[in-house]
Structure 1
Amino acid sequence: MAACPVEPLLAVGYETGDVELWDLGLMARIQRVPGGSVEVTALAWARDSLDGSWRTFCACLNGTLTEVDWRRTQMVAPTESGAGAIWSLSAQPVSSVRPGFAHPLAAGCDDGSVRLFVVEAGEGGAHYERTLARLQGRVLAVAWHPSGLALVAGGADGCIHALDAATGKLLRSNHDAPATSLAFSPDAQQLAVTLASGQLEVYDVAGRQPTPWSLEQAEGVAACLQRLPGVPMGCSWDPSPQAPLSSNGPTPALPSLPQGAGGAGEAGR
């Protein structure tokens, strides 16, 4: 699933390859685009710098990245990842994209690479730009820092990696557990991580330690999840009022972020 940043719209992908568009205000499906019988693995929205419209992109298990044309109800302009299945997509925060420039999409791929694709104004599809980094094991989750200066990636290697968005330099890696999704809060103060174990960890970015959410703080967790559109439904936290959310093993630390990556982010998104 992927929510449109500016409208109450939600794109939903299925194992059949179909993609639906839901109006969250009406809680009703308003469009359905048939796929190619290949499972949808990730969705993202990117802004066209020419007319300001928001376009939807769909990644599939066969390694293709395709644009969803809602008006013509069809998939258009497929691009091969060159790295196997794309397990996650994340669009660079639009506030950090220079006017008139292409909107980058980060893709976490099966071969362990984090690849950047760009959405050019007025051109169909997304185009491969470069490989930002290559990690061990498949990359299951990617998320941009709200400043656009860095991104984090996690996956089967059990680590969360912080990467410089300009150079791809690995800033730091910390062992935790296989991460299935990552999302920064709009104010860049928290990072939510869902683990393969079914747990949710919420990190304090400044302190680089997980926040001890508990059942007593359920309202706070729910509020946090509402502000983190990249976190999927089904996240859970420890039912014990005394037990913090954490994976097995030592308490992990949040990977360091580059200087200047602690901006205020997109408070309106």
Structure 2
Amino acid sequence: MAKSMKLAGLKSVENAHDESVWTATWVPATGSRPPLLLTGSLDETVKVWRPDELDLVRTNTGHCLGVVSVAAHPSGVIAASAALDSFVRVFDVDTNATIATLESPPSEVWQMQFDPKGTTLAVAGGGSASIKLWDTATWRLVATLSIPRPEGSKPSEKSGSKKFVLSVAWSPDGRRLACGSMDGTISVFDVARAKFLRHLEGHYMPVRSLVFSPEHDSRKLYSASDDGHVHIHDVEGKAIIGAMSGHTGWVLSVDVSPDGEAIATGSSDKTVRLWDFKMRAAIQVMSNHTDQVWAVAFRPGGRGDRLASVSDDKSISLYHCS
């Protein structure tokens, strides 16, 4: 049996932002530089950090409300940030030049993710109960994938609020999109046909984070919910393959290591947990943070030898994974 992954704290930056840090993602390496870490905060800024020293490279301003999501293009050249002002800013990572500003009122913008090929940006549209798809060549809105209303409900019934979309994830082959809603349901779409496929049930509270296992043909989807559980789903078969519990609060974020062997979560219980999928158990609990942990992110490439976490305590922590 393979040795389980272990985390060791490498570095923490206190007061990395002036306010709560709500989102973090890694920008893949390019030919001229290593991967970088992007963080977004209630202080309305996005910050770019070097991967090992957590040295600040740049602070991006331009949003007029808190930044709720950051996403990096697979090329590593561009990234996007979204704020509570409902604007998405697409920018050049190395120069901070604005490439596009996307607005799709009246929907809010929550999580975003570029598809694996980098041709489409998927944006979870909050109260619009839909995912918006933007073409990255033209920056035009090319599709809106709407969650169907429950059968038997009338349009006048306020069922839309329950389908408020918080989270979004692409399958590794780019054929499926999953989104998590306020009511605990997960919706799966066939992207090429812009077609709703199925709901995945199991959670009964908001699903704030979703991630597919990285194997190319993966059908395995991890979900994190305020109900305190992480579920593992087969997106084609509707089945829950497994469930993991251990956090004593909301599970706000989940990510999977690039080799697919380990899962990390961040929670309102102020901890980061590392899980072994085969054991279905937390193998490590990290208590670096003094407030809720909004995001965890493995560095892409190889085994994923770095994990970052960000928190309401305004700090960033970096861990070595071995």
Query: Structure 1 residue aligned with 2:129, among 112, 125, 138?
Result: 112
Aligned to 1:153: 179
Matches of 2:132 and 2:101, distance apart in 1: 16
Q: What are the superposed Cα offsets for residues 32-68 of structure 1, whole Å, 9 maximum, x if unpaired?
A: 1123331111111125xxxx55201111112111113
Query: Structure 2 residue aligned with 1:42, among 65, 69, 86?
Result: 69
Among all aligned residue pairs of Structure 1 and Structure 2, give the percentage whose two residues are the same amino acid: 24
Aligned to 1:201: 231
Question: Quick check: which one's helix share is greater?
Answer: 1
Matches of 2:47 and 2:121, distance apart in 1: 21
Query: Structure 2 residue aligned with 1:9, among 20, 27, 36?
Result: 36
Matches of 1:131 and 1:64, distance apart in 2: 17
Matches of 2:136 and 2:263, distance apart in 1: 20
Query: Structure 2 residue aligned with 1:233, among 244, 266, 269?
Result: 266
**Cα distance change on mapping 1:25 and 1:209 into 2, 3 Å:** same
Question: Quick check: which one's strand share is greater?
Answer: 2
Identify the range of structure 1 (178-187 vs 133-142) with the bigger mean alpha-carbon deviation. Answer: 133-142
Letter in 2 for 1:115: K
**Cα distance change on mapping 1:105 and 1:147 into 2, 3 Å:** same
> Helix, strand or coil for the counterpart of 1:87?
coil
Q: What are the superposed Cα offsets for residues 219-267 of structure 1, whole Å, 9 maximum, x if unpaired?
A: xxxxx733379976336599xxx9989xxxxxxxxxxxxxxxxxxxx98
1:158 Cα deviation (Å)? 1.9
**Cα distance change on mapping 1:93 and 1:71 into 2, 3 Å:** closer
> Helix, strand or coil for the counterpart of 2:256?
helix
Query: Structure 1 residue aligned with 2:196, among 170, 188, 196?
Result: 170
**Cα distance change on mapping 1:230 and 1:63 into 2, 3 Å:** farther
Q: What are the superposed Cα offsets for residues 42-96 of structure 1, whole Å, 9 maximum, x if unpaired?
A: 111125xxxx5520111111211111344444655322122421111111112xx
**Cα distance change on mapping 1:214 and 1:128 into 2, 3 Å:** closer
Q: How does 1:78-227 map to 2 (within 5 A)?
A: 78-94=101-117, 103-110=119-126, 111-120=128-137, 126-135=139-148, 136=160, 137-175=163-201, 176-177=203-204, 178-187=206-215, 188=218, 190-203=220-233, 208-213=239-244, 225-227=256-258
Aligned to 1:59: 82
Matches of 1:144 and 1:116, distance apart in 2: 12
Task: Answer whether contact 1:143 1:151 (CA < 8 A) is retained.
Answer: yes
Q: What are the superposed Cα offsets for residues 5-57 of structure 1, whole Å, 9 maximum, x if unpaired?
A: 3442111111122001112233322221123331111111125xxxx552011
Long gaps (5+) in structure 2: 1-23, 149-159, 247-254, 283-299, 305-322
Task: Answer whether contact 2:263 2:274 (CA < 8 A) is retained.
Answer: no
Task: Answer whether contact 2:77 2:92 (CA < 8 A) is retained.
Answer: no
Tell me the matched-pair count: 224
Aligned to 1:255: none
Q: Which has the higher contact order (CA 8 A, sep 6+)?
A: 2
Task: Answer whether contact 2:129 2:165 (CA < 8 A) is retained.
Answer: yes
Q: CA RMSD in A?
A: 3.5
Task: Answer whether contact 2:134 2:141 (CA < 8 A) is retained.
Answer: yes
Aligned to 2:55: 28
Q: What are the superposed Cα offsets for residues 104-157 of structure 1, whole Å, 9 maximum, x if unpaired?
A: 01111121111101211xx7xx33222122454211011011111111111113
Long gaps (5+) in structure 1: 98-102, 216-223, 246-265
